[in-house]
Chain A
Amino acid sequence: QVQLVQSGAEVKEPGASVKVSCKASGDFFTSYAMHWVRQAPGQRLEWMGWINAGNGNTKYSQRFQGRVTITRDTSASTVYMELSSLRSEDTAVYYCARFGPHYYFDYWGQGTLVTVSS
């Protein structure tokens, strides 16, 4: 049974960084890519980037290039998404999602609300 469990809600001040974790259960971890998608309140889903959990290669959205870093810890079956230089517009729910064998997001984490406020 595949499950993706994310870390809890965060409140950050503008200019700070946030690191969200996503722990995977099941024996698939290094076989698939893991993506991060965010959704600001009342807004669309927005793709941020992904990591090949097997070799650690990453690809980031141009929109977040330079501010986002995705890493993984294979021993803990966990991927991380760190977003720096936070601003109020980064207030959103952040999701991790597995990119499955049929090339779509087949499993999602429960979401982590990040609030950026002074």
Chain B
Amino acid sequence: NFMLTQPHSVSESPGRTVTISCTGSSGSIASNYVQWYQQRPGSVPITVIYEDNQRPSGVPDRFSGSIDRSSNSASLTISGLKTEDEAAYYCQSYDSSNHERVFGGGTKLTVL
């Protein structure tokens, strides 16, 4: 089955840029769209990126997404970090082999 692997945690200083990776276990991660969800402690997840690199309305352009076919991975980049960006970030895609939605393990972003 298709799996998505993320780093457990990352940390960066306010104002800097951070990139969170999401690596597909098999096949091509580019075959299906990747979404990114932000979840602050005790809160419901919200979408920050859909269809690999699209931002829902209301999400600042500091958030961007991309796909790297050579490493079979997706990335979420957050520039101009703010303390309010501190949260867990989950990538999500689709397993074509069994028609199931798949989440990555989540990455805890600390802004300090």
Chain A interface (Cβ within 8 Å of chain B)?
Answer: 35, 37, 44-47, 50, 59, 61-62, 95, 102-106, 108-111
Contact = CB atoms under 8 A, between A and B. Distances in A.
A110 B98 contact: no
Tell me if B's interface is mostly helix, strand, loop or mixed: strand
Interface residues of B, number: 24
A105 B37 contact: yes
B51 A45 contact: no
Nearest to A50: B101
A106 B47 contact: yes
Contacts of A105: 35, 37, 45, 47, 92
B56 interface: yes
Interface of B: 1, 33, 35, 37, 39, 44-47, 50-51, 54, 56, 90, 92, 98-106
Please report whether the interface of chain A is mostly helix, strand, loop or mixed according to DSSP.
strand
A102 B50 contact: yes
A110 B46 CA distance: 12
A104 B47 contact: yes
10 contacts: A37-B103, A45-B45, A47-B103, A59-B100, A62-B98, A104-B33, A104-B50, A105-B35, A105-B92, A108-B45
